[in-house]
Amino acid sequence: MIKLKELIKESAWDRNFGDPLPTLKSVSEEHQISEKKELGGAKIYQIDKATDRNNHNEARRLLAVAMGNKKLAKVYTAIEDLNMALGHLPPELSKLRMKMDKELFKQSYKMYSDHDVIVGVF
């Protein structure tokens, strides 16, 4: 027969009787994989200059390259090539760019502590 004492265990969190239960904050701090880093002023300046020249695809590509995301860098290069070949950005291509932007800025938010500054230069 199983005793009630054996059924009620507090070993799920590696804590002793009377210790407080873990909070979401304490668990997330323990499992924090890496700290956010800064992109840096030089890269942000390059992105800002590309945006000032109305080269928004290049600005996005620069951010993707800085993050090490080769897939997004290729996508933005292809979008820019099509934009130059057609002489304008068709609505379908604009929708694709917006979809890729969500992925780009989501990754930027996770990776950089100065994400707000990065978004501000776009």
Give the model confidence (pLDDT) of 43-68 as tens digits.
Answer: 999 999 999 999 999 999 999 999 99
Residue 17: pLDDT band with limits 50, 70, 90: confident
Which of 36-40, 96-100, 112-116 is the least confident region? 36-40
Q: How far is CA 34 from CA 103, 105, 114, in A?
A: 19, 18, 15
Average pLDDT over residues 21-40: 73
Residue 98 maps to a domain: yes
Mean of per-residue pLDDT scores for the chain: 85
Residue 12 maps to a domain: no
Residue 13 maps to a domain: no
Tell me the one-letter amino acid at 17: F
Q: What was the pLDDT predicted at 104?
A: 95
Residues whose CB is less than 8 angstroms from the CB of residue 63 and which lie 6 or more positions away in sequence, other chains included: 39, 43, 47, 104, 108, 118
Residue 71 maps to a domain: yes
Residue 25 maps to a domain: no
Q: What was the pLDDT predicted at 39?
A: 85
- How many domains does the chain contain in total? 1
Q: What was the pLDDT predicted at 92?
A: 94
Instruction: Determine the Cα–Cα distance for residues 32 and 17; give it in Å rounded to an integer.
Output: 26
Residue 89: pLDDT band with limits 50, 70, 90: very high
Residue 63 maps to a domain: yes
Instruction: Retrieve residue 106's tokens.
Output: 């989501």
Residue 109 maps to a domain: yes
Residue 72 maps to a domain: yes
Reported pTM? 0.69
Structural domain of 104:
41-120
Residues whose CB is less than 8 angstroms from the CB of residue 105 and which lie 6 or more positions away in sequence, other chains included: 115, 119
